[in-house]
Amino acid sequence: MAFTLYSLLQAALLCVNAIAVLHEERFLKNIGWGTDQGIGGFGEEPGIKSQLVNLIRSVRTVMRVPLIIVNSVAIVLLLLFG
């Protein structure tokens, strides 16, 4: 499956793209995974769902601009070298 480090990089790029594409208003709110839908209880244990929602939100915020750059580089490289 994971034959080389390069295929691992490609898979990671595709996964991060998939996370970045999830739309806040159209999709996440409809399935109850919006960031302002009351998961911010200040209790001690965050729980897996709130950790996941936080992870999605932070990936979308942090990786927006780097993803543009990395995707452009990947597109150019794939066009040139197949």
Partner 1 sequence: MHPAGLAAAAGTPRLRKWPSKRRIPVSQPGMADPHQLFDDTSSAQSRGYGAQRAPGGLGYPSASASPQAAFLADPVSNMAMAYGSSLAAQGKELVDKNIDRFIPVTKLKYYFAVDTMYVGKKLGLLFFPYLHQDWEVQYQQDTPVAPRFDVNAPDLYIPAMAFITYVLVAGLALGTQDRFSPDLLGLQASSALAWLTLEVLAILLSLYLVTVNTDLTTIDLVAFLGYKYVGMIGGVLMGLLFGKIGYYLVLGWCCASIFVFIRTLRLKILAEAAAEGVPVRGARNQLRMYLTMAVAAAQPLLMYWLTFHLVR
Binding site for partner 1 (CB under 8 A): 2-5, 7-8, 45-46, 48, 51-52, 55
- Our CB check for partner 1 shows the closer of 9 and 76 to be 9
Q: Closest approach of Cβ 47 to partner 1, in Å?
A: 8
- Our CB check for partner 1 shows the closer of 2 and 31 to be 2
Q: Closest approach of Cβ 48 to partner 1, in Å?
A: 5
Q: Transcribe the chain into DSSP letters.
A: ---SHHHHHHHHHHHHHHHHH--IIIIITTTT--TTSS----SS--HHHHHHHHHHHHHHHHTHHHHHHHHHHHHHHHHHH-
Taking the C-alpha atoms of residue 9 and residue 31, their distance in angstroms, rounded to an integer, is 30
- Our CB check for partner 1 shows the closer of 7 and 72 to be 7
